[in-house]
Amino acid sequence: MVLSRTIGSDSDASLHSTFASRYVRTSLPRFKMPDDSIPKEAAFQIINDELMLDGNPRLNLASFVTTWMEPECDKLIMAAINKNYVDMDEYPVTTELQNRCVNMIANLFNAPLGDTETAVGVGTVGSSEAIMLAGLAFKRKWQNKMKALGKPYDKPNIVTGANVQVCWEKFARYFEVELKEVKLSEGYYVMDPEKAVEMVDENTICVAAILGSTLNGEFEDVKRLNDLLVEKNAQTGWDTPIHVDAASGGFIAPFIYPELEWDFRLPLVKSINVSGHKYGLVYAGIGWVIWRSKEDLPDELIFHINYLGADQPTFTLNFSKGSSQIIAQYYQLIRLGFEGYKNIMENCQENAIVLKEGLEKTGRFNIVSKDNGVPLVAFSLKDHSQHNEFEISDMLRRFGWIVPAYTMPPDAQHITVLRVVIREDFSRTLAERLVIDIVKVLEELDTMPAKVTAKNEISEEKGIVNKTELEVQRKFSDAWRKFVANKKKTNGVC
Ligand SMILES: *Cc1c(COP(=O)(O)O)cnc(C)c1O
């Protein structure tokens, strides 16, 4: 199934390559497998040429996902590119490396492990798979409990902030759990623990808190949530647990906020996910989910496969996958150690501050991200009367920068922000350069007429002559907001 629509006209049904004409003269059909083979050089050239038009990953400031690793690690990745992770019997060392990673991360998150106990967790493709697995464990545990009590178990729900990443909506829809979202309000862009706990009922399988809201990087107050929920559980006799979605913050908080209690130090936190490919500093394709203890992962969800003679417990959604990312994660953990991760995270935070201060100096932006949280800078224009953030985003593209603009979730959706994620490879020089380019864009926008009319707006407004420009502007941004809100579920900020 192809869900993506290809760009370009439908009549453009074939591909050409200038250089490949050295090897082939005929064009290739676009959507049908060609009848004949072509030389390997031609195939390489055609694909390589076309890919030049993709953005440069290092300038992609939209994403948390790692775009640079050391050449030594690239070597290890390429050497393992032909290893299927699921062949655990054949590649026992790879399996052992995954287990070491799980234990290292569980210890980093303060899992209450005895000296001889090993951690419970798995490597996944990313936080999304990790969240599906964690959600399934909560759902099954809750169902088992309700069954034992002789109560209905067909209406599970999960409580989150409206700022959750799209994968929670996916979990809810795919696995038939109602998502109860705590609404956001202006100036407060994360889940309010009080409101969340009010929404908890007997059918709540867990409350999911986010360590590092995707929108503005802010950490949710997991400790407060834990304390309020402990109280509510004591009053009601329920035992509603907490999951922490630490996709981006899981590799930040332990290093720069060691005192912050957000992890297994809090008794109701039963599972945590983290993306190895975000601040775990590995290329796309690795995430982790860790459970507090064996009791928090119902045994019936674990498959015991007898793979070529060995019993191998597994809990994943897919079967085959590459091994490289696991090896790369292990590389980073031992290569950097606590000290290395700490240095990198501190450096990211300092670069975020350089960028933030540069933007503040222009006097044109409100900063909506916090200094403590995931190192990113989210900012919006103070004055929307002439131009908006989407225009800035578009114009920055010309300098090569990829900076997304998007609206906040319901109840705060009249706020549009630009967001720059600071990764390890975003240097101070780049931060300063970006500020210079943003200033250039602002100066250029100042000389351009305001972009106020959309086609349908003109026809709708026909006959009304005395509408002020501001009113039209407002109507237009309302329409735009609605349009974006309807698209919210698919905008896939990652
Ligand atoms: C990125 C992100 C996810 C999804 O993670 P993937 O690793 O991309 O699957 C989920 N939740 C939060 C808070 C995120 O930032």
For residue 278, what is the domain's CATH number?
A: 3.40.640.10
For residue 424, what is the domain's CATH number?
A: 3.90.1150.160
d(CA 210, CA 219): 7
Same domain, 245 and 209: yes
| pTM assigned to the model | 0.88
Tell me whether residue 174 is in a domain: yes
d(CA 440, CA 417): 19
Same domain, 305 and 370: no
Tell me whether residue 458 is in a domain: no
Q: How many CA atoms lie within 13 A of 86 on its CB side?
A: 14
Same domain, 405 and 308: no
Does the beta carbon of 211 sit less than 6 angstroms from any atom of ligand 1? no
Does the beta carbon of 210 sit less than 6 angstroms from any atom of ligand 1? yes
Which residue would you say has higher pLDDT here, 97 or 23?
A: 97
Does the beta carbon of 126 sit less than 6 angstroms from any atom of ligand 1? yes
Contact (CB, 8 A) for 57 and 401: no
Same domain, 48 and 80: no
**For the residues 256-265, what does the mean pLDDT come to?**
97
Contact (CB, 8 A) for 365 and 381: yes
Same domain, 97 and 184: yes
Query: If pLDDT is split at 50, 70 and 90, which confidence band does 493 have?
Result: low
Tell me whether residue 3 is in a domain: no
- The pLDDT assigned to 464 comes to 37
Return the ∠ at Cα 300 (arms to 299 and 304), rounded to 5°.
Answer: 85
Query: If pLDDT is split at 50, 70 and 90, which confidence band does 306 have?
Result: confident
- The pLDDT assigned to 475 comes to 60
Same domain, 190 and 296: yes
> 494 pLDDT exceeds 60?
no
> 139 pLDDT exceeds 50?
yes
Place of tokens 């500020």: 435
Query: If pLDDT is split at 50, 70 and 90, which confidence band does 228 have?
Result: very high
> 205 pLDDT exceeds 70?
yes
Measured from the Cα of 164, ligand 1's closest atom is 13
Q: Which of 280-294, 398-412, 472-486 has the highest mean pLDDT?
A: 280-294
> 67 pLDDT exceeds 60?
yes
Same domain, 410 and 283: no
**For the residues 107-120, what does the mean pLDDT come to?**
93
- The pLDDT assigned to 474 comes to 57
309 backbone dihedrals φ, ψ, rounded to 5°: 100, -15
**For the residues 312-323, what does the mean pLDDT come to?**
89
Does the beta carbon of 161 sit less than 6 angstroms from any atom of ligand 1? no
Same domain, 108 and 235: yes
> 462 pLDDT exceeds 50?
no
**DSSP secondary structure letter of residue 369:** S
Same domain, 298 and 184: yes
Same domain, 136 and 278: yes
- The pLDDT assigned to 100 comes to 96
The structural domain count of the chain equals 3
Q: How many whole angstroms from 77 Cα to the centroid of ligand 1?
A: 23
d(CA 130, CA 419): 25
Residues forming a β-bridge with 380:
366
Same domain, 149 and 32: no
Domain that holds residue 445: 362-452+465-490
Helix (H), strand (E) at residue 274: strand 269-275
Tell me how crowded residue 113 is: count the other CB atoms within 10 A of its CB: 16
